Amino acid sequence: MKLLFLACLSPKTGNHTTAERIRSHIESAGHTCELRDAAAFQSPAEVANLISRHPPFEGALAIHLHRAGSLLLGVSSEPVDELHVFLLVCGLRRVKDPLYLVEMFSEWHRENPLNVLVVIGPRIDPVFTVEVEAVVKKAAGVFLAQERSQRELHAAMKRCFTVVNSSVSEGMSAAILEAMDLGVPVLARDIPGNAAIVHHEFTGLLYSSPQEFVHQSQRLLSDHDLRDRLVRNGKRYVEEHHCLKRERETYQRLVDTLRCA
């Protein structure tokens, strides 16, 4: 694990000695620990830029709350509403193409560190998972999250800015329909399976390239009326065409018909 360690490194001080001792402990456990003087940074933004550089740091810690810790507390004191989490819900397999957006999103993140992409789902293809982990580890603003229960996943979806689909092929994406039902806007790759349920600029937004993904994302960020319309129409679409209650009733009638046959 690569860590950024902020401390007050004035020569011949207790803080300096303590920081060197802690770094030694961390590195002896097999991690990489880059020690930096807190006095070298003027703002939390400078620390945020350093953390997201190539290859990015995977964590940060500090000693001395006032001088060093404030630089980290200022990276997390941004209002939560300003952090834009793009949530890509998919199992790690090639047909889901989770790496499709990584390079372009990483470039966009460097321009605006408040935009982050989180890929969440089960590790289905072990070989491909290794490839994805290696690429994401080097990408700024892109993160992998472990598979979660449906309840936890839905909670994450409700808190994200938008749910993303980047698949090469889809039948009918459950994640897209769940996002619509939860009142979350959808950004989906323009493939037949997605276009059948995501009507562009009505129930969601479609994109056909990573560049267009960024363009549509910027629209969604700046146009609140568009966002509200997509959420409203998406929820109505699910209620009218994928109603769980009607689906349950249909299958119950089917079973009753078979039983009486």
One domain for residues 49 and 87: no
Q: Round the average pLDDT of the chain to a whole number and report it.
A: 86
Map the chain to HEC letters: CEEEEEECCCCCCHHHHHHHHHHHHHHHCCCEEEEEEHHHCCCHHHHHHHHCCCCCCCEEEECCHHHHHHHHHHHHCCCHHHCEEEEEECCCCHHHCCCCCHHHHHHHHHHCCCEEEEEECCCCCHHHHHHHHHHHHCCCCEEEECCCCHHHHHHHHHHCCEEEECCCCCCCCHHHHHHHHCCCCEEEECCHHHHCCCCECCCEEEECCHHHHHHHHHHHHHCHHHHHHHHHHHHHHHHHHCCHHHHHHHHHHHHHHHHHC
Does residue 92 share a domain with residue 69?
no
Same domain, 99 and 204: yes
pLDDT, tens digit, for every residue of 24-72? Answer: 888 888 888 888 888 887 777 777 777 776 667 877 787 765 556 556 6
Q: Which domain holds residue 72?
A: 2-76
pLDDT at 26: 85
Considering the domain boundaries, does residue 173 fall inside one? Answer: yes
Neighbouring-strand partners of residue 241? none
Both 44 and 154 in a single domain?
no
Residue 198 clears pLDDT 50, i.e. is over it: yes
Do 66 and 93 have their domain in common? no
- Domain co-membership, 31 together with 59: yes
The number of domains in the chain is 2
Which domain-ending residue is among 35, 55, 76? Answer: 76
With respect to residue 39, please indicate whether it lies within any of the assigned structural domains: yes
Does residue 260 belong to any structural domain of this protein? Answer: no
210-236 pLDDT, tens per residue?
999 999 999 999 999 999 999 999 999
Give domain status of residue 139, yes or no. yes
Q: Are residues 186 and 60 in the same domain?
A: no
Select from 20, 43, 76 the last residue of a domain.
76
Same domain, 25 and 150: no
- State if pTM tops 0.95: no
259 in a structural domain: no
258 falls within a domain = no
**Residue 55 resides in a domain:** yes
Which range, 109-113, 139-143, 191-195, 243-247, is most confident? 191-195
Q: Are residues 224 and 144 in the same domain?
A: yes
Same-domain pairing of 96 and 183? yes
Average pLDDT over residues 127-139: 93
The C-alpha atoms of residue 110 and residue 13 are separated, in whole angstroms, by 35
Residue 218 CA: distances (Å) to CA of 24, 116, 183, 189, 212: 44, 13, 19, 16, 10
Say whether both 22 and 109 belong to one domain.
Answer: no
- Within 10 angstroms of residue 246's Cβ, the number of other Cβ atoms is 12
Asked if 178 and 198 sit in the same domain, the reply is yes
CATH number at residue 108: 3.40.50.2000
CA pair distance 169, 97, nearest whole angstrom: 9
Last residue of a domain, one of 22, 56, 76: 76
